[in-house]
Amino acid sequence: ETVAVEAIPHVRESVKEALGKQLKDLLLAVYKNNQTDGQFSTDAKSVGRRSLKNLALTYLMSGQAAEIIQLCLKQYQSADNMTDELSALSCLVNSGCEERIEALQLFYQKWQNDPLVMNLWLSVQAASKFTDLAEIKKLMDHPAFDYNNPNKLRALIATFCSANHINFHVSTGEGYQFLADQVLTLNHTNPQIAARILTPFTKWRRYDSRRQDQLKSQIERILDSKDLSRNVFEIVSKTLA
């Protein structure tokens, strides 16, 4: 009934790591047997093979073996399609390996002029357990981010607050304050987005008592603010009802 914020991600990662290590040979075989040769195709069989291959890679990378990191890096560098390239980048970013920094830089240099791909670049980082609030604030100053662009806001801020459970729910409550700050700012510039990113606050009763108090405090702070848009007011008021 109460979400175990620290325990759930820890257990999930531990299981993935155990599977990645104990089933390494099988997963490697699945990965190699589902490589596609020739021209990129979007037919069902090719899509399925890429999906299975990249799922196997995700579990393999959880084992943190040096040779697997190199395998992932090779896929990233040689990928001829966004699915394989982004999957490899995501694996590298979530592994915490040193190669992740260079991979992120190379991806940015390659795709910086494509706004839609840059949204993916932001999302991959926002969801990573290695991206804390300080890193999110740095990314908000990055040329790839634009506070006036709804897609950028969803890619970075909404993804961090809804998918990065470890760092958003940090015990200090800083993540909650950060989200409330963004809601209050966007309330005047883009109330629709402000209302959408409120979703993590609507589940405040599911957490432990300390986090409930922290979440409720930020929700009340928003509600006490002047000139709330109808969109934001409706959600916040119902959340506390």
pLDDT, position 198: 95
pLDDT one-digit tens code per residue, 1-22 = 899 999 999 999 999 999 999 9
Distance separating alpha carbons of residues 216 and 139, to the nearest angstrom: 27
pLDDT, position 119: 98
Nearest CA to 28 out of 36, 38, 20, 18 is that of 20
Average pLDDT, the chain: 95
Query: Residue 136 pLDDT more than 80?
Result: yes
Mean pLDDT of 159-163: 97
Query: Residue 64 pLDDT more than 80?
Result: no
pLDDT band for 38, please (50, 70, 90 cuts): confident
Any idea what the Cα angle at residue 71 is, between residues 76 and 79, rounded to 5°?
25
Mean pLDDT of 43-57: 94
pLDDT, position 40: 83
Residue pair 86/120 in contact by the 8 Å Cβ criterion? yes
pTM for this one? 0.92
Burial class (CB in 10 A: 0-12, 13-18, 19+), 55: middle
Query: Residue 77 pLDDT more than 80?
Result: yes
